[in-house]
Amino acid sequence: MGAIIQFAPLVLIFVLFYFLMIRPQQKRMKEHQATLKALKRGDEVVLSNGMVGKVTRVEESEVMVDIAQGVSVRVVRSMIADVRNRTAIAANDKG
């Protein structure tokens, strides 16, 4: 009985660690993968280095992104940090 009581805090710490750290990270990762799979031409994306551009071509593992007028770059899909809605209003254009 004493051994079970000694291991109870370790088990409790592991359970808390799972629910506070591991599970939310897995959920966020699944959402990001679903967002990347739904990527389409015309979407505005934020790359992992902070550049913002518009998707012009979507391939299986790479995406062509216009980052400036006449400047297109090939980007690996996993390096896209965020996908913005193309109908979203810019923050400085509101009201």
Please report the pLDDT score of residue 91 as a whole number: 54
Please report the pLDDT score of residue 1 as a whole number: 79
pLDDT digit of tens for each residue in the chain (95 aa)? Answer: 788 889 999 999 999 999 999 999 999 999 999 999 999 999 999 999 999 999 999 999 999 999 999 999 999 999 999 998 755 555 555 54
Which secondary structure element, helix H or strand E, spans residue 8, and what is its range? helix 2-17
Contact status, residue 14 vs residue 3, Cβ threshold 8 Å: no
pTM: 0.71
HEC profile of the chain: CHHHHHHHHHHHHHHHHHHHHHHHHHHHHHHHHHHHHCCCCCCEEEECCCCEEEEEEECCCEEEEEEECCEEEEEEHHHEEEEECCCCCCHHHCC
